[in-house]
Amino acid sequence: MRFLNRRRQAHQQIDLNVIPLIDVVFFLLIFYVISTSFMQESAVSIKRPASTQATTLTSGFVPVAIVKSGVIHIGPNVVDVNDVQAAVANAMREANATTVVVIPDREVPTGLLLRVMDACTAAGAKSVDVAATKE
């Protein structure tokens, strides 16, 4: 008899309420849209100089970007030329790195590039490299 009762219950129509499911999916969508960050490699658009000797670095360095207008970015922070040494020292300490990669725009004046590289060396960087695209 029990078997027959179960069979009768199986033929009854089931009402599925999907409104709470839609609410949960909507909240998850909002959460992922808000928490996603869209960042470029150096946070600024730079046209790098070209070189046939360029090699690829994968990790363990502090990026220092110099934009065509002369603005210097160390990570997401904008830094004045006079404050590069202290900012690079802090960034190297936080990243536990000894290498600095300077990413200059191809139209950056050589004097500014050399001042930034000297400040990176004075901050304690064992290696200061210049980023370029491979020809």
Query: In a structure prediction context, what are the per-residue pLDDT tens digits for the chain, which is 135 residues long?
Result: 555 555 555 567 777 788 888 888 999 999 888 887 654 444 556 666 666 666 676 678 888 999 888 889 998 889 998 999 999 999 999 888 888 988 888 888 889 989 999 999 999 999 888 887 776
Q: For 75-112, b where at least 16 C-beta lie within 10 A, e where not — what string?
A: beeebeeeebbebbbebbeebebebbbbbbbeebeeee
Q: Is 116 exposed, middle or buried (0-12, 13-18, 19+ CB in 10 A)?
A: buried
| All domains in the chain, ordered by first residue | 2-35 (no CATH), 50-134 (3.30.420.270)
pTM score: 0.59
Helix axis angle, 84-95 relative to 110-122, nearest 10°? Answer: 50
